[in-house]
């Protein structure tokens, strides 16, 4: 325990902000920035994919379905390698590790978010769409003004747990030397050499505190949402609405 406190006192700043202000920002700060930007940019893409997945148009359904299955079937680390090698070739200029990781996370998370959004839309009673169409709204208006606002509200807990998954996935930035939290811990480990257990226990502890608090928040919101839905819609069983929180383990 004494060792852990000593390491934290000595190397705490590296874990939190990297070499900032004497160097680039890193550590937990970069982990957090990557995760927030990743989910924020993945959400619109995910909604677009979800709409394509439930659309009656084949030209929209097939490509979107292919993308979703590709992302669900290939390890994130392979996707990182693809982006790492081909994004610079595509843009014709060097790309930083941070941008590589961000692009990867956005594509990967968009596929998972698309499945969440799709489930959210499909769990709404059909009467909502029918009523909206009956009062004269177009398909797009129905989606934008009636279906999506409700579906997205119900999906907030699942999206939050997808955010937790994203935080965990940023640890793979280590593989392409993005200066995030896991990378910082490895740096400390190779400086100290003799305290690997302490260093990696600290690393696990930091991720745990961050992710566990967010998971608890997601559970709290989940209960609130399902209570609200149970009160709102008469005749729909609450069990059918309580979707389990999906998670990706990486």
Residue ranges in contact with another protein by CB under 8 A: 69-70, 72-78, 81-82, 85, 164, 167-169, 171-172, 174-175, 182, 185-186, 189, 196-201, 203-204, 207-208, 211-212, 215, 244, 246-250
State in angstroms the smallest separation of the CB of 21 from another protein. Answer: 27
Of 134 and 240, the one with the shorter C-beta distance to another protein is 240
Burial label for 78, CB within 10 Å (0-12, 13-18, 19+), is exposed
25: left (phi over 0), alpha (psi -120 to 50) or beta: beta
CB 179 within 8 A of CB 18: yes
Of 19 and 248, the one with the shorter C-beta distance to another protein is 248
Cα Dmax for the chain? 71
Phi, then psi, of 131 in degrees rounded to 5: -65, -40
State in angstroms the smallest separation of the CB of 100 from another protein. Answer: 15
CA distance 101 to 162: 17
State in angstroms the smallest separation of the CB of 136 from another protein. Answer: 38
Helix (H/G/I), strand (E/B), else coil: 180: strand
State in angstroms the smallest separation of the CB of 125 from another protein. Answer: 20
Of 38 and 143, the one with the shorter C-beta distance to another protein is 38
Q: Which position has the token pair 């400086």?
A: 191
CA distance 15 to 35: 16
CA distance 11 to 23: 15
State in angstroms the smallest separation of the CB of 78 from another protein. Answer: 6
State in angstroms the smallest separation of the CB of 230 from another protein. Answer: 17
State in angstroms the smallest separation of the CB of 195 from another protein. Answer: 9
Of 70 and 135, the one with the shorter C-beta distance to another protein is 70
181-214 in b/e form (b: 16+ CB < 10 A) is bbbbbebbbeebeebeebbeebbeebbeebbeeb
Helix (H/G/I), strand (E/B), else coil: 25: strand
Of 36 and 131, the one with the shorter C-beta distance to another protein is 36
Of 98 and 174, the one with the shorter C-beta distance to another protein is 174
């Amino acid at each position: 325990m004494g060792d852990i406190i000593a390491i934290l006192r000595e190397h705490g700043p590296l874990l939190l902000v990297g070499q900032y202000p004497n160097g680039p920002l890193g550590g937990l700060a970069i982990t957090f920035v990557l995760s927030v930007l990743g989910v924020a940019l993945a959400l619109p893409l995910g909604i677009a994919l979800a709409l394509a997945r439930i659309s009656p148009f084949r030209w929209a359904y097939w490509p979107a379905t292919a993308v979703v299955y590709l992302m669900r079937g290939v390890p994130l680390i392979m996707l990182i390698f693809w982006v790492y090698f081909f994004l610079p070739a595509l843009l014709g200029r060097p790309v930083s590790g941070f941008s590589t990781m961000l692009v990867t996370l956005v594509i990967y998370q968009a596929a998972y978010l698309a499945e969440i959004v799709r489930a959210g839309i499909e769990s709404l009673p059909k009467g909502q769409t029918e009523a909206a169409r009956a009062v004269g709204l177009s398909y797009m208006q129905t989606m934008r003004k009636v279906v999506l606002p409700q579906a997205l509200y119900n999906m907030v807990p699942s999206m939050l747990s997808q955010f937790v998954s994203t935080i965990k996935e940023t640890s793979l930035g280590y593989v392409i030397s993005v200066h995030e939290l896991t990378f910082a811990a490895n740096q400390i480990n190779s400086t100290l050499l003799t305290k690997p257990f302490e260093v990696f226990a600290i690393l696990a502890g930091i991720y745990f505190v961050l992710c566990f608090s967010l998971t608890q928040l997601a559970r709290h919101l989940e209960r609130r949402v399902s209570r609200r839905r149970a009160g709102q819609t008469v005749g729909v069983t609450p069990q059918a609405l309580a979707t389990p929180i999906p998670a990706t383990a990486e």
